Amino acid sequence: MSESDARLNEISRNESILGLERITELLRLMGEPQNSIPIVHVAGTNGKGSFTAMLAAILKEAGLRVGTFTSPAITGSCDSFRVGGATVSEDELDGILASIEPFASRMMDKPTQFEVMTAAAFELFRREECDMAIVECGLGGDGDSTNVIEKPLLSVITNVELDHTDRLGSTIAEIAGHKAGIIKRECPVLFGGESEEAFEVIAHRSELLNAPLHRTDLRRLKVEKMSLDGTDIEFEGFGSLRVGLLGAYQPKNAANVLSAVELLREKGIRISDEAVAAGLRNARWQARFEVLSENPRIIFDGSHNPDGVALAARSIDELLNSRAILLMGVMADKDYESYPALLKNKAVKVFCVKPDNPRALQADTLAQVFSKNGIDAEAFECFDDGVSAACDFAKQKDIPLLAMGTLYMYQQFTRAIEKWF
């Protein structure tokens, strides 16, 4: 365990609790660092990380010093914090946590780990004198610890789909209500989703708060060519562009980013077309249809809910042009029983594993779900054994291997394939 992880465990509690009371008190004690710079606040079911990566890359090309806070951290605590595209160092993060420790210790109600991480992000941006920050919600919106930004430069809701139904509600409207909680009075809002049910909820909240509401117009988007080298698109007003991030879902994410760029320009932020083109082309983001190896071809995609799995299935069709071998590990609280129908004609075989996470589903349970739906599936008690068997099979059959099911599996998977090679 790193020093920063040890300190984080010491000054916070390892629970997921929605609500703003603790984070509000902690930030007050720290001098309100969240109000020190302009912030783009991002909520949504899927696409938040890709949106953040692309917008940050564009703003960097425009000459701005940009901080980002994303979750979950997939390679270690430092992974959530970036300035100028670079991950914060272990020493710097530990120093920031050390500065927060005296304030957290004064609180009667101990903050959660995510609340301390959120506070650390705001303090990092203040210390680094960032020109702007892009902050991603952890869960929902209204009760998420990032929702302490009083006057966001722009609030973005990428989309609304069914996920975290145990905590956010069982309908699109209920979930949209939570995500619409990031909307602030008279601050502009961008909705990038296609659900009319969600849009109605967001529009009602925007009207109540006199917040100008904008919606990404996908009629302006045209996908020209999609391959593992990138995707060529046209977006009305911007012309032809290359999107460097892979996945059948990235053109829509790029359309949301370009719509956000237009709104930031209206705010007086100078972003040239050249910066837009270079940022979209050069943006990088781990675990989103990321090619990790060419021989055999191994890809990781962090899809972890029905909408994400459906988009991963589309990516198999459009980017691989063949069926794939799947290695899957999922969280037990996800709607994993819907996955076989989405992947039935995409999977040659499914290698099922259990990620190293207390919320993870047993591998044999997942394999049974696929098997009873007519898909060849095998469970492995040892994660590394499952990865090794999947890689061997992919090499033998000369068929791409796609690992998917949860972002929490990324680090464990990449370490396992390093051992296999």
The boundaries of every CATH 3.90.190.20 domain in the chain are 290-420
Domain 3-282 has CATH 1.10.1200.10: no
| Mean residue pLDDT across the chain | 95
- DSSP type of residue 319: I
pLDDT at 165 > cutoff 80: no
pLDDT recorded at residue 192: 98
Confidence at 352, pLDDT banded by 50, 70, 90:
very high
pLDDT recorded at residue 162: 81
Give tens-digit pLDDT for 190-222: 999 999 999 999 999 999 999 999 999 999 999
- DSSP type of residue 236: T
pLDDT recorded at residue 304: 87
> Residue 152 is encoded by which pair of tokens?
């966001």
Q: What is the dihedral of CA 18, 20, 23, 26, to 10 degrees?
A: -140
Give tens-digit pLDDT for 253-304: 999 999 999 999 999 999 999 999 999 999 999 999 999 999 999 999 999 8
> Residue 163 is encoded by which pair of tokens?
């996920």
Domain 290-420 has CATH 3.40.462.40: no
Distance CA 394, CA 164 (A): 33
- DSSP type of residue 360: B
Mean pLDDT highest for which of 9-23, 164-178, 208-222? Answer: 208-222
